[in-house]
Amino acid sequence: MDPIANLLVSIKNAGERRYESVRVPFSKINFNIAKILEREGYVKRALEVQEKARKFLLIELKYIDKTFIIKGLKRISKPGRRVYRKSHALPYIKGNMGVALISTPSGLMTNLEARKKGLGGEVLLEVW
């Protein structure tokens, strides 16, 4: 299965069930996505956890008045259909109330950061 889609589904399901945290298999891309979600205020904290010989990513979820912060997660570029955009064609998510994560030659960043730097790339996902 696609590790990014697995991460998104795990976060969404844990949020709907009002779990405090969710644990997913560790990968560099998942860790970078979780760190950007933390920086943007969608999750409390993302930690790399080592248990025996396996690494996991522990994501602490964020709620306001028992309501999950993240209203929606959508995987855009999929293994069977990659979606690339130039800097001027990057999407605006929900009137700039959400973010898109873009994989650029300079690394993973939000759509607003990529637009400021004039970078295009693969549109991985949208969060609002």
Do residue 23 and residue 58 come from a single domain?
yes
Question: Which residues make Cβ contacts (< 8 Å) with residue 62, sequence separation at least 6?
Answer: 41, 42, 43, 44, 68, 69
Do residue 34 and residue 54 come from a single domain?
yes
Q: pTM of the prediction?
A: 0.91
Category of 28 on φ-ψ map: left (φ > 0), alpha (ψ -120 to 50) or beta: alpha
- pLDDT bracket for residue 50 (50, 70, 90): very high
Task: Tell me what the mean pLDDT of segment 55-64 comes to.
Answer: 96
- The tokens describing 53, both together, are 């010989």
Category of 77 on φ-ψ map: left (φ > 0), alpha (ψ -120 to 50) or beta: beta
CATH number, domain at 89? Answer: 3.30.1490.10
Do residue 63 and residue 77 come from a single domain?
no
Category of 79 on φ-ψ map: left (φ > 0), alpha (ψ -120 to 50) or beta: alpha
Do residue 47 and residue 102 come from a single domain?
no
- Count the domains in the chain: 2
- pLDDT bracket for residue 5 (50, 70, 90): very high
| Average per-residue pLDDT for the chain | 95
Q: Note the pLDDT of residue 13.
A: 97
Do residue 46 and residue 102 come from a single domain?
no
Q: Note the pLDDT of residue 6.
A: 95
Do residue 43 and residue 24 come from a single domain?
yes
Do residue 15 and residue 63 come from a single domain?
yes
CA distance 14 to 78: 22
Do residue 36 and residue 81 come from a single domain?
no
Q: What range defines the domain where residue 64 resides?
A: 3-68
Do residue 36 and residue 93 come from a single domain?
no
Do residue 61 and residue 9 come from a single domain?
yes
Do residue 60 and residue 90 come from a single domain?
no
Q: What is the DSSP letter of 39?
A: H
Q: How far is CA 82 from CA 41, 109, 116, in A?
A: 27, 17, 23
Is the pLDDT at 1 greater than 90? The verdict is no
Do residue 42 and residue 17 come from a single domain?
yes
